[in-house]
């Protein structure tokens, strides 16, 4: 039942015409929150350096390191369904089959 509601919500997003406006507003809100909390006063670690530090066992979970890992993970999560021609309504079914997902990854 819950998977059906998620599928309906995702299918609504396929036809959401105001998505560019929502993305712009979200970006502006993120920038504003960053300015208010002064979290934009650091330099980001390149994602490859963060991955190397994880592999070497020297990873420190700081804000720059976590943000640098979040970017490639988020990009993969956004591009994976498009690259594999997964319909958004079927994402719930794909999550329920972890073995198939592991084979593809």
- Residue 40 backbone dihedrals phi, psi, to 5 degrees: -100, 15
* Residue 103, pLDDT score: 67
- pLDDT surpassing 60 at residue 1: no
pLDDT tier, 45 (very low <50, low <70, confident <90, very high otherwise): low
Query: Rounded to whole angstroms, how far apart are CA atoms 85 and 8?
Result: 18
The domain limits of the chain are 2-104
Name, in order, each residue with C-beta under 8 angstroms of 46's C-beta and a sequence gap of 6 or more: 68
- The pLDDT score that the predictor gives to residue 94 is 66
Higher pLDDT, 3 or 72: 72
Tokens standing for residue 29: 């809100």
Residue whose pair of structure tokens reads 């490859």 in the numeric block: 48
Tell if the pTM clears 0.75, that is, is over it.
no
**Tens-place pLDDT, residues 47-65:** 777 778 888 888 888 777 7
Classify 55 as helix, strand or coil: helix
């Amino acid at each position: 039942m819950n998977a059906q509601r998620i599928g309906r919500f995702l299918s609504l997003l396929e036809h959401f015409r105001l998505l560019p406006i929502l993305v712009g507003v979200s970006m502006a809100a993120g920038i504003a929150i960053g300015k208010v909390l002064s979290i934009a006063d650091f330099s980001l670690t390149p994602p490859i350096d963060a991955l190397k530090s994880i592999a070497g066992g020297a990873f420190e979970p700081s804000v720059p390191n976590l943000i640098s890992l979040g970017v490639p993970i988020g990009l993969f999560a956004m591009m994976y369904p498009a690259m594999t021609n997964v319909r958004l309504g079927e994402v719930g079914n794909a999550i329920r089959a972890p073995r198939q997902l592991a084979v593809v990854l």
